[in-house]
Amino acid sequence: MPPEREHTQASQIVRLRRDDQEAVYQFLATSPIENVAMMGMLLEEGLPGNGYREFVGYRVGGAWHAIACFSGDISLFATDDAAVDAIADYAMRRVPMIPRIIARKDVVDRYWQTLRRTPLPVQFDRRQLVYTLDPQDLRAAPEPRMRLARPDEAEQVARLASAMSNEEIQMDPYRDHPLSYLRLIEHRIRMQRYYVLEEGGRIKFQVHLNSITPYAGQITGVYTPPEFRRQGYAQAGMGAFCRMALERVPKLCLFVNDFNKPAIALYESLGFKPMMEYRAVFMRAAY
């Protein structure tokens, strides 16, 4: 059952609704890089969210202490341990239970104390580094081949995005849900969020501007097909993409697995700087 609103000043978890929008957004904006994805969703969709996304909040005496978004995984911003515990307890009772969380490392460390009680095996547990890029720090040469993806390239973009997902988290959405995933990619292309470096009809590098807020843009989907790696496409494409994206947002941010040394070296060579640590824990769901 969804959380209900109570007429009390005690601590409570509530499902967020339209009239919470401004207060929730301002709460998330106290840490705008950490919350860039949730803030972007609020700006694009508004509360209460779309059909497969649920936003809940934890508040004490009318003040927000945590906001969580439940979709394919859980995004969580919390200001204290009690707030993390409250969201974790709700998540364990929620149907369906989502056994995956990505958030600031200390938040996930606390959340794990509840999540580890489940009988599900760990699929992966990764430390991620959050990097940011300011316009004055960008070091990149122009690359005229880098451009926005076209609608007729949606299937190729979808296949590559799905291949990346399979490499990263062992999930292949284009294989499992081809029609709905293709529609999602088509929508993102219409929103001018996918950029590609293409030669001879083949995409050799692509990247996704996932979220846009007044504070930053979040980069995801940085991908070079295996047959084109170590040929300079990522360096050229990523640099040119950052130039174009920084015309739309004041700064950029991205998350990268701490063991992905080639990607970290690329980002740092372009001027990205580390800011904070995240942790991603995915339990293997029972179906």
Asked whether the predicted pLDDT for residue 170 surpasses 60, the reply is: yes
221 with 161: CB under 8 angstroms? yes
- Closest by CA to 192, choosing from 151, 139, 160, is 151
Could you tell me the pLDDT band of residue 286, with boundaries at 50, 70 and 90? low
Mean pLDDT along residues 88-113: 95
Could you tell me the pLDDT band of residue 6, with boundaries at 50, 70 and 90? very low
Provide, rounded to the nearest whole percent, the portion of the chain with pLDDT above 70: 96
- Average pLDDT over the chain, rounded to whole? 93
Mean pLDDT along residues 155-177: 89
Mean pLDDT along residues 92-101: 92
> Kind and range of the H or E element at 85?
helix 81-93
Could you tell me the pLDDT band of residue 1, with boundaries at 50, 70 and 90? very low
- Closest by CA to 214, choosing from 48, 78, 49, 43, is 43
Q: What are the residues whose beta carbons fall under 8 Å from the beta carbon of 90, sequence distance 6 or more?
A: 3, 13, 56, 68
Q: Give the predicted TM-score (pTM) of the model.
A: 0.91
Mean pLDDT along residues 258-271: 96
216 with 249: CB under 8 angstroms? yes
Could you tell me the pLDDT band of residue 168, with boundaries at 50, 70 and 90? confident
Q: Tell me, what's the pLDDT at 7?
A: 38
Supply the angle between the helices 81-93 and 105-115 in degrees, to the nearest 10: 40
| Helix, strand or coil, per DSSP, at residue 204 | strand
**Domains of the chain in sequence order:** 12-118 (3.40.630), 135-277 (3.40.630.30)
- Closest by CA to 78, choosing from 25, 31, 20, is 31
CA-to-CA dists, residue 145 to 114, 152, 219, 244, angstroms: 48, 17, 19, 12
